[in-house]
Amino acid sequence: GAGVSQTPSNKVTEKGKYVELRCDPISGHTALYWYRQSLGQGPEFLIYFQGTGAADDSGLPNDRFFAVRPEGSVSTLKIQRTERGDSAVYLCASSLLAGRTGELFFGEGSRLTVL
Amino acid sequence: GNSVTQMEGPVTLSEEAFLTINCTYTATGYPSLFWYVQYPGEGLQLLLKATKADDKGSNKGFEATYRKETTSFHLEKGSVQVSDSAVYFCALSGTGNQFYFGTGTSLTVIP
């Protein structure tokens, strides 16, 4: 399809394990965003890529979280030593034009549950 | 800093009722403003946007006007339908290319 694809759609893991979440943006979109959404809350900004580089990673909560986008397309969000508080839906969005007038196109999210 | 405050939910309306969901913002500079909608089982999608003061965004019968003087972007629809049942998020995008979202307002429309 032509939309933003996120895998896995659901991930259940145990506390302390390592997790990778993948995002495949819309072809040609240079801007890519990761958000985290907890139940009953709005999306919380984590990191924004423009091309291959992280233009703003100020939303990453701590050094257990890391994201890469090595070829300027697919991105992977990596979470080390997972904690129960990391349980949330992780959303990826891409945009042709970053920021102000650019529309974000969201994937359906990866639901992470840490037991 | 940048932030968005929107009306607490949930909101329950009868079909054909008038809808208002309030949204106010705090921003440096001149942000763009958005309403996103999340239908059950789907990802967030853009409903409408406005990029400068006094602009009116509209789509699917929904409207919102960018009011700089009151720092507001309230969402309105004159006659809601059951299919409008969803969660609505107000958002802004500022100079840093980040998007800031409100906490969402759940709307249920009953026949």
The neighbour count for residue B61, using CB atoms within 10 Å, is 13
Q: Measured on CA atoms in the order B70, B73, B76, B81, is the torsion positive or negative?
A: negative
| Residue A101 reports pLDDT greater than 80 | no
Name the residue of chain B whose CA is nearest to A39's CA. B103
User: What pLDDT sits at residue A98?
Assistant: 64
For B41-54, the pLDDT digits (tens) are 888 999 999 999 99
Contact A48 B97 (CB under 8 A): yes
User: What pLDDT sits at residue B82?
Assistant: 97
Give CA–CA dist A88/A101, Å, rounded. Answer: 28
For A13-40, the pLDDT digits (tens) are 999 999 999 999 999 999 999 999 998 8
Q: How far is CA B1 from CA A37, A105, B25, B66, B93, in A?
A: 20, 24, 10, 19, 12
User: How many Å is the Cα radius of gyration of chain B?
Assistant: 13
> Chain A partners of B91 at a C-beta cutoff of 8 Å?
42
> Chain B partners of A56 at a C-beta cutoff of 8 Å?
96-98
Cβ-nearest to A42 among B43, B98, B101: B101
Residues in contact with B41: Cβ distance below 8 Å, sequence separation at least 6, in sequence order: none
For A43-91, the pLDDT digits (tens) are 999 999 998 988 889 899 999 999 999 998 999 999 999 999 999 999 9
| Residue B29 reports pLDDT greater than 90 | no
User: What pLDDT sits at residue A97?
Assistant: 72
Mean pLDDT, chain B, whole residue set: 93
